Chains A and B, each alone.
Chain A
Amino acid sequence: MPIPLCKVPSNTIATIVQVDAGPGLKSRLLNMGFVSGAKVKVLKNSSGQIIVALEGGLGRVVALSRGIAKKIIVEVQA
C-alpha cells in the first residue's frame, strides 16, 4: 500500500511510487534521484527531518524536512 515517505520507519527500504510536489520542488527531487522505481533506505526518521540514502542505502544521503517527505509516495515491501 502506498504511503508517504514521512511515515516510513528508520532502517526500512522503500520504493518510490510517485513524487507529488509542485513543479520546482518536483524537478529538484527528480534531479537528485527521487524517481519512481528508485529504492530509498530511511536511515533516520526523527521529529525534525528524515534522512534517506538513495540506491537502496548505498547512494547519496539526503536530509528532507517532513513537509517534503510527505510529498514523496512510496511502497514498503513486506
Chain B
Amino acid sequence: MSVPRSKCKYVIAVTGQPNVGKSTLFNVLTGKVERVGNFPGTTVAMSIGIRVHKGESICFVDLPGIYGLKATSLDEKIARDFIIWGDWDAIVVLVDVTTGISGFYLLAQILQLTKRVVIALTKWDAVKEQGLEVDLEKLERVFGVPVVPVSALKSEGIERLVDTVLTMGRAPEVIHEGLYIDYGPLEPLVAKLTEVLKSKAEVRHGVALRGIATLIAMGDGDLAKLLNINMEQVYSTEFMRVKEIIGSDLEDYITNSIRLFLEKNIGDATRFREKPGKAIAIPKVFQNPITGFPLSLAIPFVAVFTAFAINTGFPFTTLLELLGQGEVASALESYTISGLIGIAFDNLKSLIHSVLGYSNPILASFLADGVVEGVGVVTSFIPLILITLAIMSAIEDSGLGPLMAISLHSFFAKFGLSGRAAYPMFISLGCNVPGVMASRAALDDVERFGIIASSSFIPCQARLIVMLVFIGYFLAGHPLLQAVAVIGLYLGGILLYLVTAKLFRRAVFRVKSPPELLLEIPRLKAPSIRVVWWDSWALTKHFIIRAGTVLVALVAIVWSLTKLGPRGFVADPAQSFAAMIGTVIGNAIAPLYNLSSEASWKIGFALLSGFIAKENLIATLAILTGVAEESGSALELLGITLPQGLALLVFFMYYIPCLATVATIYSETRSLKLTLLIVIYVICVALALSLAIYRIALLFPMTQAPQSFKP
C-alpha cells in the first residue's frame, strides 16, 4: 500500500456514505492535501491529507464514499480492500444521523471487520437545528467504539475527533472481535467460512475474519477470489441448503439481519424532540418538467459561458467586433486571462529572440517558438479548465447536480444516457479534456465509455476560434448566415454526441435497456469554497501533469518538423519535413474536395497541427501562407471556394479529438483498442459529413466563388 510512512506517523482511513459531508470534513481536518499515486491496481487517485497534531503527523486517507461494503463498483472494492489489506492505524466512519437507520449500515459492516473505529456524527449543527436528540452513550455502548459529534461548517468537535483518533491509533494492536450480529440459520456457514479463512487468508493484522466471511456469504465473489476461496465448487451445495432453510437470498437475509440489529439496538437512539423533522424538500421548480428541464440546461450553460467570458472575453469581444468596435474588442481581449498569458509569453519569446537571435538563431527559434510556445499553449488551457471545473464542482457540492440530473434524465434516456451525462457535455463546450474527465460522473462504465466516445464531437473553445475565422471569411457580410452556421455546428456537435453515445451503448457494449437512474438527492447547501478549490485544482493538476507534458513535447516536435527539413534548418516551411507530411495527408483528401496541390499540402499540414491542438489550425495556415495575423487572409491566399471552405470547416470541427483529448481518453479508459476505435470512428464520421456538405453546397451555383473553382 502506497501510504508514505516516512511522512505519516499515523495513518487514518476516512470513509462514509455519499452525501455524508466527507469532503467538507476532510478539508477542515487536514491542512495540506496530497495525491500520492493511485489505489493499488486502479487508476483512482488516493488523496492524503496531513495534519500535525501535538507534534505528530497524522495522515488521513480519503476512501471513496459508499453505501455499503458489498462490491457493486470500483468504489466499494477500493474501500473494502483498503480496510482488509491496507496499512492503517484507525478508521473514521462518518455517519449522518438525519438519514436514519440506513445511515448506520456501512458503519455496521465496517465494525464487523474491525473495532479500531471512531464514529464521527457529521453535520451536527443541522442535527441540532432539526431538533433531533441523539443518545451518544447508547451508540457508544452498542457499537463499542468512541462517538464524536462534529460540525465541519462551524469547526466544532474537530479537535476532539483528532484526539480520539490519535488515542485509537496509539493503542496497541490486538486481535479484535468485530461487531457481533447473529445470523441465526446462517451461523454454521459463516463459522465454516471463518475457519477456512483462518487457515489461508492473509489480511491486515487484527481484521476480524468473521466480518470477511459475512461479506463472502453475502455473495462477494470478487473478495472470495482474492482470498483463493472457490465458491462455486466447494460451497455451492452448502449455499443451496442454507438458502432453502432461510427461504430467501443470503444477501437479503444478511442485510435484513443487520437492519433488524440496528433497529432493535439503536432504533430509539435518535428521537425528535418536538415535531418530527421534514424530509428533504425538492424545489418545486425542479419538479415541474416545464421549468426543471430548461433550468437544468441553463445552469451548466451559464457556467461554461462565464468561464469563457473570464478566460477570453467571448462573446463580448465578438459582439464588439460585429458592432465595428474592433479596437475596444482587442483591448478587452488583452485584459482577459488568456490575453494576459499570451502577452506574457510573447514578451518572453521576443526577449529570447533579442538575446540569442544574433549569436544562435536556431537555438533562439527552438527555445522561443518551440519550448516557450509549448509551455504557453499548456498555460493558456489552465485557467479555462480550472474555472470550468470550479463552477461544476460548486454545482455538485451544493447538491444541485442530482436535481439537474433528474430533470434531464427523461430526455437523455432517449439517447442511452442518464441525466448525469449533461455535465461532460457542457464541460466539453469549454474543453474536451476536462469533459472526458467529467465522464466520471456517469452512473456506470457503459455510460462512462459512451460519454468518452462522444465528447470530442462537442466543439470546444479552441475550435470556436477556427469556426469564427472560417465563417467570418466565407460568409462575410451575411451576419444571419454566420449565426446560422455557428448554431448549426454546435447543434450538430450535440446531436453527434447524443447519437454516438447511443451507438456505442448498442453496438459496442451491446446494452439494449435504457440507462437507469438511482440517485440520492441531498439537502441543498452553500458550496464550500475549500472543497471546490481542492476538487478543481486536483483535476487541473492532473491535466497539467498528464496532458501538459505530452503537449509541451509535441509542440517542440512540431517546431522541429516545421523548421527542419532534409537539408537541416530551413527558413521556408515549404522545405520542411512538415511539408512532406502535409503533402501526404493533403494528397489523400485533395481529390475528394478538388483542392489545388498548393493548397492541399498546407491544409494537410494544418490538419496535422490541428490534431496537436485545434487552435493551431488557423495559426499554421497563417504561417504557411506567410500571413502575419490569424485571420481570413490565410484562407484567401489558399484560394478556397465556398463549398470547399464549408466542407473543410465541418471537417476541421469534428475530424479528430486533439492529442490532449486522445491522451485523456486513453488515460480514462485504459484501453488502447477502445481509444483507437473512438479515433477512427470520429475521423470516419467527420469525413462523411464533410463530403456530404461539399456535395450539397455544389448543388447551389451561387456558392461557387468566381476566383478559382472550376468544375
A, B co-complexed = yes
User: From A32, which residue of chain B is reached at the shortest CB distance?
Assistant: B67
Number of interface residues of B (CB under 8 A): 43
Chain A neighbourhood of B515, CB < 8 A: 65
Contact flags A43-78 to B (C-beta < 8 A → 1, else 0): 110111101011101111111110110000000000
Chain A neighbourhood of B66, CB < 8 A: 31
B279 touches A53 (CB 8 A): yes
A59 touches B99 (CB 8 A): yes
B406 touches A51 (CB 8 A): yes
Q: Give the distance in Å from the alpha carbon of A58 to the alpha carbon of B99 in the complex.
A: 7
Contact flags A5-48 to B (C-beta < 8 A → 1, else 0): 00000000000001100011111111111011110010110111
List CB contacts (< 8 Å) of B458-509 with chain A: none
CB distance from B445 to the nearest CB of A (A): 11
Q: Given known contacts A49-B409, A59-B103, A65-B413, is B279 in contact with A31 (CB within 8 Å)? A: no
* B704 adjacent to chain A (CB < 8 Å): no
CB distance from B695 to the nearest CB of A (A): 41
List CB contacts (< 8 Å) of B233-277 with chain A: 251-252, 255-256, 259-260, 276-277
CB distance from B631 to the nearest CB of A (A): 48
Chain B neighbourhood of A46, CB < 8 A: 287, 289
A47 touches B517 (CB 8 A): no
A60 touches B68 (CB 8 A): no
Q: Given known contacts A60-B102, A63-B521, is B68 in contact with A30 (CB within 8 Å)? A: yes
* B527 adjacent to chain A (CB < 8 Å): no
A31 touches B521 (CB 8 A): no
* B232 adjacent to chain A (CB < 8 Å): no
Chain A neighbourhood of B518, CB < 8 A: 25, 28-29, 32, 62-65, 68
Chain A neighbourhood of B279, CB < 8 A: 41, 43, 53, 57-59, 61
CB distance from A21 to the nearest CB of B (A): 10
CB distance from A73 to the nearest CB of B (A): 12
CB distance from B282 to the nearest CB of A (A): 7
A37 touches B99 (CB 8 A): no
B280 touches A32 (CB 8 A): no
CB distance from B527 to the nearest CB of A (A): 19
CB distance from A30 to the nearest CB of B (A): 5
Q: Give the distance in Å from the alpha carbon of A29 to the alpha carbon of B516 in the complex.
A: 12
B406 touches A27 (CB 8 A): no
Chain A neighbourhood of B99, CB < 8 A: 54-55, 59-60
Chain B neighbourhood of A27, CB < 8 A: 68, 70-72, 219, 251
User: From B521, which residue of chain A is reached at the shortest CB distance?
Assistant: A61
* B8 adjacent to chain A (CB < 8 Å): no
B101 touches A55 (CB 8 A): yes
Q: Which residue in B105, B256, B406 is a CB contact (below 8 Å) of A63? A: B406
Q: Which residue in A26, A60, A65 is a CB contact (below 8 Å) of B520? A: A60
* B519 adjacent to chain A (CB < 8 Å): yes
CB distance from A18 to the nearest CB of B (A): 8
Q: Which residue in B259, B280, B516 is a CB contact (below 8 Å) of A65? A: B516
* B318 adjacent to chain A (CB < 8 Å): no
CB distance from B370 to the nearest CB of A (A): 50
Chain B neighbourhood of A67, CB < 8 A: 513-514, 516
Q: Give the distance in Å from the alpha carbon of A3 to the alpha carbon of B518 in the complex.
A: 20
Q: Given known contacts A30-B255, A48-B289, A53-B279, is B519 in contact with A62 (CB within 8 Å)? A: yes
Chain A neighbourhood of B405, CB < 8 A: 63
* B587 adjacent to chain A (CB < 8 Å): no
Chain A neighbourhood of B255, CB < 8 A: 30, 35
Chain B neighbourhood of A59, CB < 8 A: 99-103, 279
* B645 adjacent to chain A (CB < 8 Å): no
Q: Give the distance in Å from the alpha carbon of A43 to the alpha carbon of B283 in the complex.
A: 12
B100 touches A58 (CB 8 A): yes
Q: Which residue in A23, A51, A64 is a CB contact (below 8 Å) of B219? A: A23
Q: Given known contacts A24-B72, A31-B66, A48-B406, is B251 in contact with A63 (CB within 8 Å)? A: no
Q: Give the distance in Å from the alpha carbon of A27 to the alpha carbon of B518 in the complex.
A: 12
Q: Give the distance in Å from the alpha carbon of A67 to the alpha carbon of B511 in the complex.
A: 15
User: From B292, which residue of chain A is reached at the shortest CB distance?
Assistant: A48
Contact flags B694-706 to A (C-beta < 8 A → 1, else 0): 0000000000000
Chain A neighbourhood of B402, CB < 8 A: 63
Q: Give the distance in Å from the alpha carbon of A54 to the alpha carbon of B287 in the complex.
A: 19
Chain B neighbourhood of A55, CB < 8 A: 99-102
CB distance from A42 to the nearest CB of B (A): 11
CB distance from A72 to the nearest CB of B (A): 11
Q: Give the distance in Å from the alpha carbon of A48 to the alpha carbon of B280 in the complex.
A: 20
Chain A neighbourhood of B57, CB < 8 A: none
User: Would you list 7 pairs from A and B whose C-beta atoms are within 8 A, ordered by A residue?
Assistant: A18-B252, A24-B72, A31-B106, A35-B256, A55-B99, A61-B521, A64-B518
* 5 more CB-based (< 8 A) A-B contacts, given A35-B102, A65-B516, A68-B517: A19-B252, A59-B99, A60-B99, A61-B280, A63-B517
Going nearest first, the 7 A-B pairs with the smallest beta carbon separation are A33-B102, A31-B68, A31-B67, A55-B100, A59-B100, A48-B410, A65-B517
**Which residues does B use to contact A, with CB under 8 Å?**
19, 66-68, 70-72, 99-103, 105-106, 219, 251-252, 255-256, 259-260, 276-277, 279-280, 282, 287, 289, 402, 405-406, 409-410, 413, 513-521
